[in-house]
Amino acid sequence: MENTKKKILLVDDDLDLLEQNKILLESKGYIVVTASNMKEAMDTFKKEKPDACVLDLIMEEHDAGFVLSHKIKRDEYGKTIPVFLLTSATYVTGMKFGASTDEEQQWIHADGWFDKPINIEQLTNKLEEAFIKYKK
């Protein structure tokens, strides 16, 4: 389902992937605003009020995506939007990233995660499901 009105905040410190994923999301009809680090991402989040956030897990710090997601979800507006994490951990380590236990899900303040490189169809399907859940 294509959506021409939803604004996505896309955050990644790999500028090539950031641009590639921006183009892919725009091709699906989304408005995409970008940031390449945590500070820029929070500033953009507060200014743009996106309908969803897609955040790289490992940026300037190994836990940057977790920290950023947590900050967004603690924000009054951030509580009302979906946040997804992107990770290359599976590609780099061969180990599948996930949060299967209740304890893991409590400290991972995100609505889901995707392995890099992203499958744009999978991402847009999850975004649309999340928009329904959040009534966006």
List pLDDT tens digits, range 54-107.
Answer: 999 888 887 889 899 999 999 999 999 999 999 886 544 444 555 555 554 555
Tell me the average pLDDT of the chain.
Answer: 86
Give the residue with greater pLDDT, 105 vs 30. 30
pLDDT at 61: 82
How many other CB atoms are there within 10 angstroms of residue 78's CB atom?
A: 20
Q: Which residues neighbour 33 within 8 Å (Cβ) at sequence distance 6 or greater?
A: 7, 8, 9, 10, 44, 48, 50
In the chain, the domains with their CATH numbers are: 7-129 (3.40.50.2300)
Note the maximum CA span of the chain.
Answer: 37
- Comparing 87 with 42, which gets the higher pLDDT? 42
Provide the pLDDT for residue 136.
Answer: 78
